[in-house]
Structure 1
Amino acid sequence: MLEHIEIQNFRCFEDTKILGFKRVNLIGGKNNAGKTAFLEALLLHNFPRPKSIIELKKIRRESSEISKSRPERTWDNFFLDQSHQGQIKISGGDSENLKTIELSISDTINSEDQQDIKKLIDFISQNESVTSLNIKVIQNQEKISESSVISSSNGIISVNGSDSIDIPIIPSGLRMSNQELAEAYDKARLDEKDGEVLKLLQILDSSIQEVDSFLIGEPTLYLRSINKRRLPISLYGDAIIRATTMILKLINNNHKILLIDEIENGIHYTNQREFWRTLFRLSQALDTQIFATTHSLEMIQAFGDVGLETDEEMSAYFELARHPKTNNIIGIKRDVETLKYALEHGKGVRGE
């Protein structure tokens, strides 16, 4: 389980070290305090692969056409102040293991696969300008892998590491398609975990009695409420879809980590405590570490209440803010008891 991380030269992080992560971690702070960028850094640390880079560009909705017209600018938004002069370093681990990810722009393309090299030669020969983002992974001071993502006027290609893993991050503004939800539900049902989906949905809407998937045109998840006919989940609104996405990502997760941006979206304040109880229970049962961000004071209060009900060593709250002297981002840790004290005495916990 990740206990600490240091982020250098990545997006808004010049040099930030945060210590004391627990199994369930909530991150707050002002707008543009670095909450989403922090989740991105965690993703790259846990999945230092070309697919993670490509997925982050999609999540950010960065235009592929701009990358094609200016390949040399494709990776700008990963670097502090959009400067390629420095190297991105993301280091983290526990008391026994330290993993460091290094990202850099280079003329060197890293691959040990002969098929990759042939594909790469063909690709470069068709493009006048290419820019490589290299990814190096170091475990306990020993290099264990290198890979590259290359941008050109014809698009982006990954070298050595282009796999099809399911990236365990839930962005604030994107949602799974009907087909993705149905396929994820079927996977949960195959593993006898589909009951957790209904339990969570009933926290948000107690009238929901049944969840099922059907292949009619395209795979779609259907819900049925009391004395009602089945309806596709898309007719139940964004809150239900987002909650279903979260629970399916959690119960189908083989990566032992889940990242959720703006976890409060769509969750009514009256349901937030039960919602956290479910996440706390499943994170323990499934041995999965959760990192979530929020703007909501009510969501922070619910998190603190549930944290006090359970093992207090299971969760922690982190406030991202700018240091008044250096202007660097810092992470202020509060255990749940300290968090509740701050909330009850009107002390700022969101960068106020």
Structure 2
Amino acid sequence: MESKRISRHIDRLILDPNNYRFIDRQDYKLVNDEEAADNRVQQRTLNFILGKNQSNVQDLISSFRTNGFLDIDQIQVKALGDKYLVLEGNRRIATLKYLWEEYKSGGDVGNLEESDFKIVHLVEMSDEDPVQHLITMGLHHISGKKRWSAVNEAQLINDLIERFSLHEEEVCDKLGINKHKLRRSRRTLSFIEQYKRSDYGDQFEPNMFTIFETAIATSSLKNWVGWDDTAYFARNEGNVERFFKWISKEEEYDLDEDGNERSNIIEPIITQYRQVKEISAFINDENAVKKMEESRSIIEGYTYSDAISENRLKSALSKISSEIQVAFNFSDHLNIDEYEEIEKLKIKLDRLIPSSLANLGISANSSSLFYPSIRKQFSSVYINKYRKLTNLKVQKLSQVNIFVGGNNMGKTSLLEVFYLLSQLNDLNAFVQLEKYRGKYLGDINSNWFNKSFNQRIRIGACFNKVETELSITSNKTEDDIDKSDYLNTISIEAKVGEETLNSNLHLYTNKVADLRFSRSKILCQGTFTSPFRYNIDLLQEAHAFAVENKYLDEIIKFIRDNLDESIEKIELITIEKESRFVVTSNKLNDVLDITKYGEGLQRIFEITLLMVFSKDGIICIDEIDSAIHKSLLVKFTNFIQLLANKYNVQVFLTTHSKECIDAFVQNDYSDDELMAYALEFNKEKELVCNYLEGNELKNLVESINVDIR
């Protein structure tokens, strides 16, 4: 295909009425080249591309008004009489035509000038090959960045094969896609075409593509509609008709009190592709499917199917109960082979007992404070043994303490030491740490917990100017407890001055662990936050505390001033027992889940929320700079120090970022209560924790740009 550069007036360009962007529309009709320049055809095409109130091209309108019409991407055309049909660049030309009318009527066109409309730079394509044209569009809009909707992509792929007789391998090679994507697109399009030929076909919308795609990709539903992979056709007409009803609106007629006919629109059962997967779980249970159709509720069908399964289970257990009595009555006749058979049955019955019965439930913190008031939190810590840390001293602890060091040096373990010490003999705190270490989303299994904890923990500290020690061990207990299915006992002993506190957690294989203590105390409020651990229960409690004490406004103000000025509030809402944080913005009509915002905002919200919740206590922050842009670090570290001072919180944090360390000494906040520690090996290859006081660190950073990592 040959090409040459030309320039033409905007009025000599005509839009492609067969553009793949809108061939899936119900009102689309194939237009011949001879009719393409017709005014009515062009106006309809322009309306298709612009959308209602120019909604489809607002991005281009804004760009053109601001930057002018930039000749960056080629606009490809072919001669059509005395005019030129746009092959590639229809959105840009449509936008330019709209702004040309605005210009002529004195409207706002920004930085556009008359020459932008009179001299449009083009690339004229000669010897037009329709296949090559489709391939070019496919590379732009299927393999490239300017993606079409899935149904348009599928239509182009199908046209290359059906209309122009290309082989699958050719299409894959030319478009840079794999055969799986090609066949999946063609199957889905064929199923859509089948729907369009049905009584509901006029309801098809492009966003329904994933519903059809999921149906054909889910084996149980695929078989249920009788999908033929050779003919690309669903052959079970009855089930196909039912499926089409499920995804469509229906009109129902009845009579009102005066005998007049009244219509009622019934909404579809299926509106999202996820619901297709839910239905596939019980699609072969006809009773459950009918229940769903009657109630027009997927949940009803699913629940009904579960009820059938439950009844079958009860029936099976009833039979086992009655038949086992028969076996007892004739047990004198058992032989060796039958004993072996019974042993096999016993193993199967044991498997019916869920492992969750051996789970460790983590209860809410019911411990009371050891001290009525605190003059000073931790001033030093000594670690005899905790994971990889042995015989390690950390001295001269300040209000804000930064820990740096290479990977796998034990920084996170060090934070855990501070947290455990603050919680004394509250074994829930230890279980909580093990839960997140093992990446358990739910409760921890006692068997796993027993195997994973096999090293004694011995740590100590000076807290509130009083020596404190903590020891955690795993041993068989000599206490008088139920020993059936007994595994082991996790014991914790905490000493504060002359007072000793004990707790014991008895672990069992097939029942809930037994936690026993006479008194449970904590040194202070303590929290632990990490980008790799998420504790929704803790955040809910912290949020309630901040709201009750009117601390939340201070956090929202920092986020508004430094991250997003449109944010008005962040609230905790609960829908169907699921609690989520949602954000109210003056730019949006509806609230958004906080996860729709950046990771940096979420991280800052979590850390600052836990900072105020840790009032008169401590907070351990792992990888504080994770997901937070370096340009925000100076303001954020300043805010951390401000909150720490205002709410009397001792902060322990880790970082790998030199920028984060620099931010603490450059944020204009007093460094009198700042300390930095480096975990490193000495000449004897022993792990030590060296420190630099805040003012000393600041002088070194400013004078020689020191990096203590």
Given candidates 669, 677, 686, the residue that maps to 1:310 is 669
Q: Residue by residue, what CA displacement relative to the aligned partner does 1:5-39 show, whole Å, maximum 9, x if unpaired? A: 00011111110011011111111110011100001
User: Could you list the runs of 5+ residues in structure 2 that have no partner in the other structure?
Assistant: 1-376
> Cα distance, 1:286 vs. partner?
0.7
TM-score by length of 2: 0.42
Task: Find the structure with the greater CA-based Rg.
Answer: 2
The aligned counterpart of 2:585 is 225
Distance 1:193 1:275, change over 3 A: same
The answer on 1:108 being equivalent to 2:477 is yes
Superposed, which structure 2 residues align to 1:68-87 within 5 Å?
68=447, 71=450, 73-76=451-454, 79=455, 87=456
Q: Residue by residue, what CA displacement relative to the aligned partner does 1:236-293 show, whole Å, maximum 9, x if unpaired? A: 1322222211111121225611111111111111111111111111111111111111
Distance 1:109 1:240, change over 3 A: farther
User: Could you list the runs of 5+ residues in structure 1 that have no partner in the other structure?
Assistant: 80-86, 111-116
Q: Secondary structure at the match of 1:125?
A: coil
> Cα distance, 1:66 vs. partner?
7.6
Given candidates 390, 393, 396, the residue that maps to 1:14 is 390
Say which is worse superposed, 267-276 or 234-243, in terms of deviation: 234-243
Identity percentage of aligned residues? 22
The answer on 1:26 being equivalent to 2:26 is no
| Structure-2 separation of matches of 1:321 and 1:44 | 23
> Cα distance, 1:43 vs. partner?
1.1
> Cα distance, 1:62 vs. partner?
5.7
Distance 1:59 1:215, change over 3 A: closer
The answer on 1:4 being equivalent to 2:380 is yes
Supply the RMSD in Å over aligned alpha carbons: 2.8
| Structure-2 separation of matches of 1:204 and 1:27 | 26
Return the structure number with greater helix share.
2
Q: Residue by residue, what CA displacement relative to the aligned partner does 1:177-228 show, whole Å, maximum 9, x if unpaired? A: 4x76455434312211110220232223333233334444444322233422
Q: Is the CA contact 2:531–2:603 (under 8 Å) kept in the aligned structure 1?
A: no
The answer on 1:185 being equivalent to 2:549 is no
Amino acid at match of 2:428: K
The answer on 1:236 being equivalent to 2:597 is yes
TM-score by length of 1: 0.82
Q: Is the CA contact 1:316–1:336 (under 8 Å) kept in the aligned structure 2?
A: yes
| Structure-1 separation of matches of 2:642 and 2:631 | 19
Say which is worse superposed, 143-152 or 338-347, in terms of deviation: 338-347
Amino acid at match of 2:505: V
Say which is worse superposed, 294-303 or 198-207, in terms of deviation: 198-207
The aligned counterpart of 1:84 is none
> Cα distance, 1:125 vs. partner?
2.4
Distance 1:302 1:146, change over 3 A: same
The answer on 1:256 being equivalent to 2:617 is yes
Distance 1:43 1:186, change over 3 A: closer
The aligned counterpart of 1:206 is 565
Superposed, which structure 2 residues align to 1:62-211 within 5 Å?
68=447, 71=450, 73-76=451-454, 79=455, 87-94=456-463, 96-108=465-477, 121-122=481-482, 124-127=483-486, 130-140=487-497, 142-154=498-510, 156-160=513-517, 168-177=527-536, 181=539, 184-202=542-560, 203-211=562-570
Return the structure number with greater strand share.
1
Distance 1:32 1:69, change over 3 A: closer
Count of residue pairs the alignment pairs up: 323
Amino acid at match of 1:173: F
Distance 1:69 1:265, change over 3 A: closer
| Structure-1 separation of matches of 2:565 and 2:546 | 21
Q: Secondary structure at the match of 1:224?
A: strand
> Cα distance, 1:65 vs. partner?
7.7
Given candidates 611, 621, 635, the residue that maps to 1:274 is 635
The aligned counterpart of 1:83 is none
Given candidates 434, 438, 441, the residue that maps to 1:57 is 434
| Structure-2 separation of matches of 1:315 and 1:70 | 37
The aligned counterpart of 2:657 is 296
Q: Is the CA contact 2:469–2:495 (under 8 Å) kept in the aligned structure 1?
A: yes
> Cα distance, 1:69 vs. partner?
6.2
| Structure-2 separation of matches of 1:65 and 1:186 | 26
Q: Secondary structure at the match of 1:15?
A: strand
